[in-house]
Amino acid sequence: MNLRIIVLAKQVPDTRNVGKDAMTPEGTVNRAALPAIFNPDDMNALEQALRLKEQNPGTSVGILTMGPPRAAELIRQGLYRGADTGWLLTDRLFAGADTLATSYALATAIKKIGGADIIIGGRQAIDGDTAQVGPQVAQKLGLSQVTYAEEILDCKDGRLTIRRHIDGGTETVSAPMPCLITVNGTAAPCRPANAKLVMKFKRASCPSERVALPVKPGTPGRDDSYDYLYDSREWLNLTQWSVADIDGDPQQCGLAGSPTKVMAVQNIVFQAKESKSLSDSDADIEWLVKELRDEKIIG
């Protein structure tokens, strides 16, 4: 079966390796002090996509990402592991997007691509931790969605069988294609980069990225000694789209399209208490209701 798969990926600061300079005095993330990485859950999603490709010859996998020019690195990382193509949404008009504006941009780009059988991304990004973008994209495209996926077990007759991670265990569900899947961090880790593919795609870049390349010491201008390759090797040219390229509405993109306003960020220390597991017995339910009422959580 020839599947068309789009992997949603985000470049994020590596918040798992936080040094002392990770936060600015104002309490925002100091992006310069943190290396930019492929969002970990999105790597798990990529692995699921690549496995489907292996099981279904003729399948194509594309990486869709939104970010500054350097986010094209995600597309390269995808190509190094077996993805076929990628699209970078980059435009000042996309900047400052909350989850609503992000999902609008991604959904609009997916329409521009011509849709897909499977759209798959990580459950959430490690910088925002919202887990909203995937479900919002599904909503905007009118697709079924399966969240917290751990493994795609089967793909046949237009349906996917998926094992999901749920509290205290897993459940297996079936969903019709096209559909959107968000993958949990407990899913299989992504495969390493492949030697031949790295050799092939190491200079793949998008036009804005090439302009921004660092200047080679001792030479005027940037290192353009391999620029001649871009004409003869079409696989080195990554697709870069602006708001206009995807026929997007600038009012729904970036800061303009983001109703979420962050007023302040505070450092807090969690006052975690012991958790309690309850069964579905009448006694336990009665205890829970009483507890919630006492805590004034329900009135």
Partner 1 sequence: MANYFTDNPELEFHLHHPLMKRIVELRERGFADKDSYPEAPVDFEDAIENYKQVLSIVGDITANIVEPNSEAVDQEGPHLVDGRMHYASKTYENLEATRKAGLWGVSMPRRYGGLNMPITPYSMASEMMSEADAGFQNVWSLQDCVETLYAFGSEEQRQKYIPRVCAGETMSMDLTEPDAGSDLQRVMLKATYNAEEDQWYLNGVKRFITNGDSDIHLVLARSEEGTHDGRGLSMFIYDKRNGGVTVRHIENKLGIHGSPTCELVYKNAKAELCGQTRLGLIKYVMSLMNGARLGIGAQSVGLMQAAYNEGLAYARERAQFDKKIILFPAVYDMLSRMKAKIDAGRSILYMTSRYVDIYKTLEDIARERPLTAEERAEQKKYSRLADALTPITKGMTSEFANQNAYDAIQIHGGSGFIMEYKSQRLYRDARILSIYEGTTQLQVVAALRYITNGTYSKEIEELLASEVPSSLAGAKASLAKAAEELNASIEKVKSFGDQEVTDFLGRRLFQMTGMTLMGLLLLSDAARCEELFAGSARIFAGLAAETAAGHSAFIASFDPALLPDLRAE
Closest approach of Cβ 191 to partner 1, in Å?
A: 4
CA distance 52 to 5: 9
Q: Is residue 191 at the binding interface for partner 1, with CB under 8 A as the rule?
A: yes
- Choices 93-101, 136-144, 221-229, 280-288; region in contact with partner 1 by CB under 8 A: 221-229
Q: How far is the CB of 54 from partner 1 (least distance, A)?
A: 10
Q: Give the residue, chosen from 19, 114, 169, 192, that forms a contact with partner 1 under the rule CB under 8 A.
A: 192
User: How far is Cα 133 from Cα 42, in angstroms, rounded to an integer?
Assistant: 12
Which runs of consecutive H residues, i.e. helices, occur in 214-253?
229-232
Interaction of residue 233 with partner 1, rule CB under 8 A? yes
CB of 227 to partner 1, least distance (A): 12
Contacts of 237 (CB under 8 A, 6+ apart): 204, 205, 206, 207, 230
The mark string for 4-43 relative to partner 1 (x by CB under 8 A, - otherwise) is -------------x--------------------------
Smaller CB distance to partner 1: residue 196 or 276? Answer: 196
Q: At what angle do helices 133-141 and 99-113 cross, to 10 degrees?
A: 50
Q: For residue 286, what are the contacts with CB-CB under 8 A and spacing of at least 6?
A: none
Residue from 18, 197, 208, 239 touching partner 1 (CB under 8 A): that is 197
| Residue selected from 235, 249, 265, 289 as contacting partner 1 according to rule CB under 8 A | 235
From residue 150 to residue 189, the character string flagging contacts with partner 1 as x (rule: CB under 8 A) and all else as - is ----------------------------------------
- Could you say which of 153, 166, 173, 199 contacts partner 1 (CB under 8 A)? 199
**What backbone phi and psi angles, to 5 degrees, belong to 69?**
-50, -35
Cis-peptide into 189, omega within 30 deg = no
Among residues 132, 200, 230, 242, the one that binds partner 1 under rule CB under 8 A: 200
Q: How many residues bind partner 1 (CB under 8 A)?
A: 17
Angle between helix 40-55 and helix 72-81 axes, rounded to 10 deg = 40
Nearest distance, CB of residue 111 and partner 1, angstroms:
31
- 226 forms part of the interface with partner 1 (CB under 8 A): yes
126 in Cβ contact with 287 (< 8 Å): no
3-state class percentages of the chain: helix first, strand second, coil last, to nearest 5: 30, 25, 45
175-205 burial, b at 16+ Cβ within 10 Å, e below that, comes to bebbbbbbbbbebeebeeeeeebeeebeebb
193 near partner 1 (CB under 8 A):
yes
Shortest Cβ distance from residue 160 to partner 1 (Å)?
23
For position 290 contacting partner 1 by CB under 8 A, the verdict is no
Burial class from Cβ neighbours inside 10 Å (0-12, 13-18, 19+) for residue 123 reads buried
Q: Contact with partner 1 (CB under 8 A): which of 25, 32, 142, 195?
A: 195
Rounded to the nearest whole angstrom, what is the least distance from the CB of residue 285 to partner 1 in the complex? 43
What single letter denotes the amino acid at residue 96? G
Which region, left, alpha or beta, applies to residue 117 given φ > 0 means left and ψ of -120 to 50 means alpha? alpha
In the complex, least distance from residue 104 CB atom to partner 1, rounded to whole angstroms: 34
Residues in the site for partner 1, rule: CB under 8 A? 17, 191-200, 202, 225-226, 229, 233, 235
